[in-house]
Amino acid sequence: MTTIRVAQATVTVTGRRNTTAYVRIAGEIDMAIEAALGDAIDRLVALAPHTVEVDLTAVTLSGVNLANFFAHMDGVIPDGATIVAHGATPSVRRVLDLTGISELVHLREDVTRATNAAEGMTRRTRR
């Protein structure tokens, strides 16, 4: 598990190579977190997941940086891999819609699946 904390935001990436990766993003997603998002991308490249589940429920502010994160992720994960974003607030969803990212990412209202899976992955990595 990789957790990156910057200013008023946190990005956590968990997963095993060639399976599903789980990403939790929390806080204000602005220019201050750009390097942390880049580190998360590097971790996702190393994992080469077939699916990326992203929990957005704790994002309090978002701009183009979140859209850029998803666009970059789409360009570096393996061909055919799926990106699923869960729990985007209406304002975050609007950013993703306006930037066209909602065409690349499957947006889901329910975050239970991603949260439960990420918590399970966290428990397994602590053993």
Strand pairing class (9-15; 2-6): antiparallel
Q: Is the pLDDT of residue 5 over 90?
A: no
Q: Is the pLDDT of residue 113 over 80?
A: no
Provide the whole-model pTM. Answer: 0.85
Q: Is the pLDDT of residue 114 over 70?
A: no
Record: fold of 2-126:
Transcription Regulator spoIIAA (3.30.750)
Q: What digits encode the pLDDT tens for the residues 11-63?
A: 999 999 999 999 999 999 988 888 899 999 999 999 999 999 999 999 999 98
What are the Cα distances from residue 104, in Å, to 1, 47, 50, 68, 119? 25, 20, 15, 12, 25
- Confidence (pLDDT) at 7: 73
